[in-house]
């Protein structure tokens, strides 16, 4: 049988730690992309194709990439083909994906959410279509959260958002706390064509006329206060450009900002200077609020111009970037630390060649005020697979303290993605169990249980103040 109760658990200690400690812990998913309006509106899914594949530019780009690589025509992926045909196309190609985490995740989702142990393939696809859809008819977005025992789910929200859906959820009977997270990427992308229009939108929302860099900072700070009142305790930034060797002063950034509003095109160096300066100001604001600053580093976005033009961003055309980040990032962190305004910070790494560098860098700014104040974030995106998760935990353990790690996140737009926490917990217990079996860690159940409970749930709750 595939995906047994002992899936990924290869020692007696790993099985003990998982089944007795990790399996039934609630979930804190502190970084995801679930639409809060879909949660507030208790969205339902007409069938498994909508849940798993979506359509257009709204769906699971992990599965889309797998299908494209298997030769499936786009009309059966994001196009106008019949939903049943799209689902069956996915079922046909999934058996080809040996070693791909989507093979594991899809079967875990069937088992954990729907109680179905069937192997997914061309033969079983038609039966799965009927069985899953029958259950989906009685489910909505709340069902996925409560069934998975999600204690807290943090969405990703623009500073200009009115957070009306979050306010509605706070008044609702949903047992899961759904909290916003602050993602000011549109304010950081000074080179975007829509940047001036976005400043107008943000200014109206913050009741601040934005005609300078200083006024932009005021507007963003006002929205941090608004988000904080709605439960936000973390920010999220995509660091997709190399940071500068020197952070420009405010007078220099004001001149850059004025030139951009006048319609000029800034150089790559000027754009990176603007990003660093804005991060410096926002980092100070986060520290004053007790927030965590999350930096997602190393994405090369929208590589396929034809795909981008047809389907838009976040549709499966991003890749791993090569960039020089160590010294510039250290300067940013040091600038904040020198003012005693370095917030709790998480460094997420898309390029695995940066793992050791970022993990070691976090140790340079620990100050004893918070356990794991700087975190080497979980295996993210293209690293979120068996080997990637194990390697991330090994690297973190080699350079820091695994027991202070705040654990994994789905980073997903799919309401079916919560079994990925189960996947991660099995790998955590596998790693610890192997160390015990190999004589590299004492056979101390209490100590091991403390690590497992913390990494799986408790550390995130404490770290983010949830």
Domains of the chain, with CATH numbers? 12-45+139-463 (3.20.20.140), 46-138 (1.10.2020.10)
374 strand-pairing partners = 345
> In the prediction, which pLDDT does 199 show?
98
> In the prediction, which pLDDT does 56 show?
74
> In the prediction, which pLDDT does 269 show?
95
- Nearest Cα neighbor of 420 from 144, 183, 132, 125 is 144
- d(C-alpha 320, C-alpha 9), whole Å: 30
For residue range 137-149, what is the model confidence (pLDDT) as tens digits?
999 999 999 999 9
* Mean predicted lDDT score pLDDT of the chain: 97
311 strand-pairing partners = none
For residue range 240-298, what is the model confidence (pLDDT) as tens digits?
989 998 999 999 999 999 999 999 999 999 999 999 999 999 999 999 999 999 999 99
For residue range 320-356, what is the model confidence (pLDDT) as tens digits?
999 889 999 999 999 999 999 999 999 999 999 999 9
List, for the chain, all residue ranges whose pLDDT scores fall below the cut of 70: none
> In the prediction, which pLDDT does 201 show?
98
> In the prediction, which pLDDT does 283 show?
98
> In the prediction, which pLDDT does 280 show?
98
pTM, entire model: 0.97
> In the prediction, which pLDDT does 245 show?
87
Residue 404 in contact with residue 370, Cβ under 8 Å? no
């Amino acid at each position: 049988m595939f995906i047994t109760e002992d899936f990924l658990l290869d020692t007696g200690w790993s099985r003990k730690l998982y089944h007795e400690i990790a399996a039934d812990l609630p979930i804190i998913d502190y970084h995801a992309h679930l639409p809060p309006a879909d949660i507030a509106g208790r969205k339902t899914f007409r069938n498994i194709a909508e849940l798993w594949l979506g359509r257009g530019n709204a769906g699971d780009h992990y599965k889309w990439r797998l299908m494209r690589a298997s030769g499936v025509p786009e009309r059966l992926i994001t196009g106008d083909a019949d939903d049943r045909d799209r689902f069956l196309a996915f079922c046909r190609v999934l058996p080809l994906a040996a070693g791909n985490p989507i093979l594991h995740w899809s079967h875990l989702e069937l088992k954990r959410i729907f109680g179905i142990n069937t192997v997914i393939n061309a033969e079983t696809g038609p039966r799965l279509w009927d069985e899953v859809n029958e259950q989906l008819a009685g489910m909505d977005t709340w069902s996925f959260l409560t069934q998975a025992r999600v204690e807290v789910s943090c969405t990703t929200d623009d500073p200009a958002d009115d957070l009306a859906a979050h306010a509605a959820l706070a008044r609702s009977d949903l047992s899961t706390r759904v909290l916003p997270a602050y993602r000011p990427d549109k304010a950081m992308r000074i080179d975007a064509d829509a940047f001036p229009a976005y400043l107008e939108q943000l200014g109206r929302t913050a009741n601040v006329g934005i005609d300078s860099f200083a006024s932009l900072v005021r507007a963003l700070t006002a929205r941090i206060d608004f988000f904080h009142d709605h439960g936000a305790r973390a920010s999220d930034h995509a660091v997709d450009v190399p940071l500068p060797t020197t952070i420009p002063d405010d007078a220099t950034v004001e001149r850059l900002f004025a030139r951009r509003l006048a319609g000029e095109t800034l150089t790559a160096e000027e754009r990176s200077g603007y990003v660093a300066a804005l991060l410096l100001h926002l980092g100070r604001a986060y520290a004053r609020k007790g927030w965590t600053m999350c930096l997602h580093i190393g994405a090369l976005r929208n590589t396929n111009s034809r795909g981008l033009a047809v389907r838009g961003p976040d549709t499966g055309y991003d890749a791993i970037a090569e960039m020089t980040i160590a010294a510039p990032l250290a300067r940013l962190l040091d600038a904040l630390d020198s003012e005693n305004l370095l917030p709790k910070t998480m460094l997420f790494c898309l390029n695995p060649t940066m793992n050791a560098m970022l993990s070691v860098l976090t140790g340079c700014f620990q100050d004893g005020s918070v356990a794991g104040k700087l975190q080497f974030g979980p295996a993210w995106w293209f690293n979120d697979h068996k080997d990637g998760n194990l390697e991330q935990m090994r690297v973190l353990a080699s350079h820091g303290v695994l027991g202070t790690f705040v654990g994994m996140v789905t980073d997903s737009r799919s309401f079916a993605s919560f079994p990925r926490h189960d996947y991660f917990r099995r790998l955590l217990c596998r790693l610890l169990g192997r160390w015990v079996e190999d004589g590299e860690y004492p056979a101390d159940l209490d100590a091991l249980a403390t690590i497992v409970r913390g990494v799986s749930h408790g550390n995130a709750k404490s770290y983010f103040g949830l």
